[in-house]
Amino acid sequence: METPMNVEHRATIAADPDAIFAFIQSPEYHRALVPHLRLVEAIEPLSEEVADDGTLSRVARYTARAELPRFLKRFEDKAPEFVYWEERSRLNPTTRELRYEIVPEMPENWRSYYSNEGTLRVEADAAGNASVVMQNLEFNVSVPGLSLFIGKALRTEITNIFEAQAAVLREHFGEKA
C-alpha cells in the first residue's frame, strides 16, 4: 500500500468569507477558472441538488488536453487527445466548507489505482478584514514502479490548480493576482 500524498494551499483574499463562498458556488466561478488552467478546455455543470439542510451537492465535468509527464513521452502516440474527470462536491454554506472527490473517466477496473478526497474551507482571518481560503487534497496512486513519479506530477498539477483558484478569487474581489 502506497503512502497517501497531501497537497495543502492557503490564500488570503480581501473579502468577506460568505461572499467568497457564495462566489465559489456560482456558475461564474467555473467560467472564470477555465482560462487560468493551462490544459483545461471546459468545465461543465452536470448536476446540482440542494438538500433540506441547505447543503449543495454538485457535479462538474472537466475536459482537458492530455499531456503526459516527460518520463512517459514514449507513449504519447497512444494517449488520447483529451482526458475527462468529474468533481463531485458537497458544499455547506453554514460552515463554508466544500468536500470533494475527483473521479477520472476511465475504465472502472483502473479506478482502484487512484483515490482522493479534498476540502476547501473559507474562514475570516484573525484581523477580521480578509478571509483565508484553505485547500487540501489527499490522494493515493497505487501503480507499482510508477506511483512516486505519477504522484510528483499530480502534486505539481494540483498546486497549480489551487493557485489558479486563488487567482480567480483575487481577481473577482478586486485584487491583483
With a pLDDT cut of 70, the percent of the chain lying above it is: 91
What's the pLDDT tens digit per position in 19-72?
999 999 999 999 999 999 988 999 999 999 999 999 999 999 999 987 766 666
Question: In this structure, is the dihedral angle defined by the CA atoms of residues 164, 33, 116 and 131, taken in order, positive or negative?
Answer: positive
90 or 70, which is more confident: 90
With a pLDDT cut of 90, the percent of the chain lying above it is: 62
Q: What integer pLDDT is reported at residue 115 of this predicted model?
A: 87
Number of domains in the chain: 1
CATH code of the domain containing 55: 3.30.530.20
Range(s) of the domain holding residue 129: 5-173
Query: Has residue 172 got a pLDDT over 60?
Result: yes
Residue 29: all three cell numbers together: 466561478
Rounded Cα gap, residues 62 and 76, in angstroms: 21
Average pLDDT (154-177) is 89
